Structure 1
């Protein structure tokens, strides 16, 4: 079965690019782990260079990859330039990268562009994690963190991004993507716990309590129960 190495850029003391309180290190850790979970659901082994907000050097990342044999090394990042001046996605391979890395990069790029990101193309570069890793390697910049439009796409189309990148990876290793079953989707739903702040026999008293809660910043409403 295929084995992949996922690398989530930056982390710990290195936040990467930041904009309006948003950190690249947090964004890529969150989205990357979600893609890993989606790929694992198809029976693929995914190892990760970090699984928390930890500082990991570039050398430690490539050393981690070099300790095992992987089908692909995939590094997740977000871009930055000048606030609100640049946008879009771009995917990198090493200089004169082979057909495997180029093919995966093109599939990932196409999947993200289909979601509305500006197409900045597949490019070649001399990044450490592309140069010093043994497996075919790609690095994807999922939009600009200092661009509000890209951030809206990143947030509002999060699930589509996860599926799109997962589909591209699975296609490149010869595995058909299947949607999660209803039971799996149910397990992934967020559980919320509602708190009752009292019961009143007089509606006016209930309405007064609702107003107090709303004034304090709580989501409050009246629910009617018949004894």
Structure 2
């Protein structure tokens, strides 16, 4: 089973970048936890360096990651420069990154740019959480907190941001993204119930069954569950 370590920057006594009452530590905690839930929905284990507004030192973050074997370490941040002077997203790897971290960084960066953020590129940096972690690591700067346009994008496209980051991670893990579905939907004011048509241990068999259902006129898709 795939396993990830999510790191939400700052927290507690360290709010990170701030602007007009907005705190980086709050933004990345809230957003990152939703990305974690979206990834977990696909059977991936996600451990988090913090899950509330608490202070976590850089060494505690890297020590936490070093305590387990992870497929990736992903640190969530928001950028800052001078008010309204810079904008966009950028994704960091450690110096001379390995192929896995570089590819994940490029996938996440491209996904966020599609949503309308200015592309500041994939960069390398000697940040502690990139240098002192064992697994392939990336650090995401999701827009500038001191830029009004980026904050609008961060708010209005929040669900899309969560989705595209989760998709990029799952892609690098070799896991197909599956759209979320609800147990009930409204249709002409009536309750609808979903029906499952079998479970399969081999994906090809599941794909064959989906094709048969589609040919028979039924709406069908594959959903992934762990035993």
Structure 2 CA distance for partners of 1:95 and 1:184, relative to 1, 3 Å? farther
In structure 1, how many angstroms separate the alpha carbons of the residues matched to 2:37 and 2:7? 14
Task: List gaps (5 residues or longer) in structure 1.
Answer: 187-227
Question: How far apart are 1:184 and its partner, in Å?
Answer: 8.4
What does residue 129 of structure 2 align with? Answer: 129
Question: How far apart are 1:78 and its partner, in Å?
Answer: 0.1
> Of the two, which has the highest radius of gyration?
1
What does residue 204 of structure 2 align with? Answer: none
Q: TM-score, normalised by structure 2?
A: 0.81
Deviations 1:195-226 (A, max 9, x none): xxxxxxxxxxxxxxxxxxxxxxxxxxxxxxxx
Question: How many residues were matched structurally?
Answer: 186
Deviations 1:100-158 (A, max 9, x none): 00000000000000000000000000000000000000000000000000000000000
What does residue 217 of structure 1 align with? Answer: none
What does residue 112 of structure 1 align with? Answer: 112
Question: How far apart are 1:182 and its partner, in Å?
Answer: 2.3
Structure 2 CA distance for partners of 1:185 and 1:95, relative to 1, 3 Å? farther
CA RMSD between the two structures: 1.2
What does residue 67 of structure 2 align with? Answer: 67
What does residue 35 of structure 1 align with? Answer: 35
In structure 1, how many angstroms separate the alpha carbons of the residues matched to 2:63 and 2:185? 36
Structure 2 CA distance for partners of 1:185 and 1:33, relative to 1, 3 Å? farther
Structure 2 CA distance for partners of 1:100 and 1:182, relative to 1, 3 Å? same
Task: List gaps (5 residues or longer) in structure 2.
Answer: 187-227
Q: TM-score, normalised by structure 1?
A: 0.81
In structure 2, how many angstroms separate the alpha carbons of the residues matched to 1:184 and 1:90? 39
What does residue 172 of structure 2 align with? Answer: 172
In structure 1, how many angstroms separate the alpha carbons of the residues matched to 2:185 and 2:59? 38
What does residue 159 of structure 1 align with? Answer: 159
In structure 1, how many angstroms separate the alpha carbons of the residues matched to 2:172 and 2:132? 22
Structure 2 CA distance for partners of 1:140 and 1:185, relative to 1, 3 Å? farther
In structure 1, how many angstroms separate the alpha carbons of the residues matched to 2:120 and 2:182? 36
What does residue 146 of structure 1 align with? Answer: 146
In structure 1, how many angstroms separate the alpha carbons of the residues matched to 2:76 and 2:185? 25
In structure 1, how many angstroms separate the alpha carbons of the residues matched to 2:12 and 2:58? 13
Question: How far apart are 1:183 and its partner, in Å?
Answer: 2.7
In structure 1, how many angstroms separate the alpha carbons of the residues matched to 2:92 and 2:55? 23
What does residue 222 of structure 1 align with? Answer: none
Question: How far apart are 1:185 and its partner, in Å?
Answer: 9.2
Deviations 1:57-106 (A, max 9, x none): 00000000000000000000000000000000000000001000000000
In structure 2, how many angstroms separate the alpha carbons of the residues matched to 1:54 and 1:162? 23
In structure 1, how many angstroms separate the alpha carbons of the residues matched to 2:56 and 2:80? 21
